[in-house]
Structure formats: C-alpha cells, structure tokens
C-alpha cells in the first residue's frame, strides 16, 4: 500500500510590479562612497552568472534558476540584447543587474541586487541607476533591438527590506500588486553567516 504524499506547505508572497515609461523618470542617487565601478560582463559565462545569482539571492530565496543546466544558462545569457552589469567595489563583485529586452521595446530588469556584505552602503541605488540607464539606451549597443519604451521590474515581500524604497526613490511607479503562494523552503545559502563581514 502506498502512502499518499503530503502537500507542500506554501507561504503567501506579495509581488509588486513597477515601471518607468520615460528616461526622464530616473532619479539617480548620490554617488556611493569609495571606489565603485559598474561594468558590463561582455562575455556572458554561466559560471559567473550563477555565482552572482547565488551570492546575491541565496539569503532571499532566489531558487528558480538553481536547477537550470549549463546549456539553459547559456541560452538565457546569449539572447540578443540580454546584458549583465556588475558592480565592483575595490575590485570585488558587489552585485549585479540583468537586463532582458523584449520585441515591443520593453526591457525587464530580471535580476538586481547586492551580495549581502555590500548592502546598506549606498551601492544599490547607484547600481540600479546605472542598470536603468543601460536599459534605456540598450538599442544603441544592439541596433537590431527596438528603442526602449518602457523599463519594468518586480520585487516581492521576500526581498530585502530596502528594495521597494530603492525602486521608488529611483523613479519607478507601482502598476500591479498580487499575492502568490510559493512552496515554503529554506534559503539556499550561499552558507550560514555569509551575510556578515
């Protein structure tokens, strides 16, 4: 006799979608302290992108890409117009922005965030501003892409406590709110204590 499987426990998660519809919507922050550079990763490597994904999202339950194969990562990273912009503080990766353009002139900020050790140091606002600027001028680097008409992203109640405030301060406007139910899971890491210096 087989034992019936127990349904997975789910938790309610609030998902907010925000947008900008003009480059003039962007409100840049004050410059971060110290030596911070934001550089495009011009050779998209699955190994590096997966490192960024797990290092930034490990403590806030970014799990949807963890099961992807190497070939699937390559497919995502090599789409025409897809870009990853990485923030470095004194030569160390601090966080990243991943852009995904669509055929209608929309660019989604698919992933954005900082490695926990770099949060709360005014790097996030700067990185987000650079990412938004690069979303608005993406067609200059990719002539086959249509000019950007809209930049959007989503955040949720599992993200860091300052995420929504950062988006609103940069000029994003809320256009949708919904509740989803996600399977309850432990944050995957990268390992306990990694958020401290």
DSSP output for the chain: -PPPPPPPPEEEEEEEEEEESSGGG----PPPSS-EEEEE-SS--HHHHHHHHHHHHGGGT--TTTT--HHHHHHHHTSTT-EEEEEEETTEEEEEEEEEE-TTSEEEEEEEEE-GGGTTSSHHHHHHHHHHHHHHTHHHH-TTSPPP-EEEEEEETTS-TTHHHHHHHTT-EEEEEEEEEEE------S-TTTT--
- Domains of the chain with CATH codes: 10-183 (3.40.630.30)
Q: How far apart are CA 71 and CA 106, in angstroms?
A: 25
pLDDT number for residue 129: 97
pLDDT 10s per residue in the chain (197 long)?
A: 445 555 578 889 899 999 999 999 999 998 888 899 999 999 989 999 999 999 998 888 888 898 999 999 999 999 999 999 999 999 999 999 999 999 999 999 999 999 999 988 889 999 999 999 999 999 999 999 999 999 999 999 888 778 899 999 999 999 999 999 887 767 666 665 555 44
pLDDT number for residue 161: 79
* pTM over cut 0.85: yes
pLDDT number for residue 64: 87
Contact 80, 99 (CB under 8 A): no
pLDDT number for residue 197: 43
């Amino acid at each position: 006799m087989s034992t019936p499987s127990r349904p997975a426990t789910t938790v309610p998660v609030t998902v907010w979608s925000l947008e900008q519809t003009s480059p003039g919507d962007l409100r840049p922050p004050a410059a971060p302290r110290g030596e911070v550079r934001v550089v495009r990763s011009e050779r998209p490597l699955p190994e590096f992108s997966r490192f960024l994904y797990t290092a930034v999202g490990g403590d806030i339950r970014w799990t949807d890409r963890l099961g992807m194969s190497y070939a699937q990562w390559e497919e995502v990273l090599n789409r025409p117009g897809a870009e990853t912009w990485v923030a470095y503080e004194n030569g160390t990766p601090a966080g990243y922005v991943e852009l995904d353009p669509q055929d209608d002139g929309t660019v989604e900020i698919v992933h954005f965030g900082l490695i926990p050790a770099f949060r709360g140091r005014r790097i996030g606002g700067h990185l987000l501003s650079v990412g938004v600027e690069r979303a608005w001028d993406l067609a200059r680097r990719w002539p086959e892409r249509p000019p950007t008409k809209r930049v959007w992203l989503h955040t949720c109640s599992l993200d860091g406590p300052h995420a929504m405030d950062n988006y609103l301060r940069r000029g994003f406007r809320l256009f949708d709110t919904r509740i989803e139910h996600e399977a309850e899971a432990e944050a995957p890491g990268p390992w306990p204590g990694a958020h401290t210096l």
